[in-house]
Amino acid sequence: MLRLERLRKEALESCNFRGHKMRTFSRKYRHWWSSKCKICGKEVHLNDNPLPNEIDISGEAVALNCGDK
């Protein structure tokens, strides 16, 4: 659970830096969690058990500012 909490904190910091107001994370699959910005709808995804070739944090909300297309 510590890994998931660390990932959530890191993802939210990145999203907040970009101006997003994120909703609560919800579980999509066994190891996948998602959250959506309340303003623009961009998402962030967490994978708490990535394969060696996968990343643990992804999505438009960590890459683009709120309101960017």
Q: Is-contact 7 49, C-beta < 8 A?
A: no
Q: Would you give per-residue pLDDT tens digits along the chain (69 residues)?
A: 688 899 999 999 999 999 999 999 998 888 899 999 999 999 999 998 899 999 999 999 999 999 876
pLDDT for position 69: 64
Q: Is residue 52 part of a domain?
A: yes
pLDDT for position 25: 93
Number of domains in the chain: 1
Q: Is residue 13 part of a domain?
A: yes
Q: Is residue 6 part of a domain?
A: yes
Question: DSSP readout, 5-49?
Answer: HHHHHHHHHHHHHTT--B---EE-SSSEEEEEBTTT--EEEEESS
Beta bridge partners, 43, equal 36
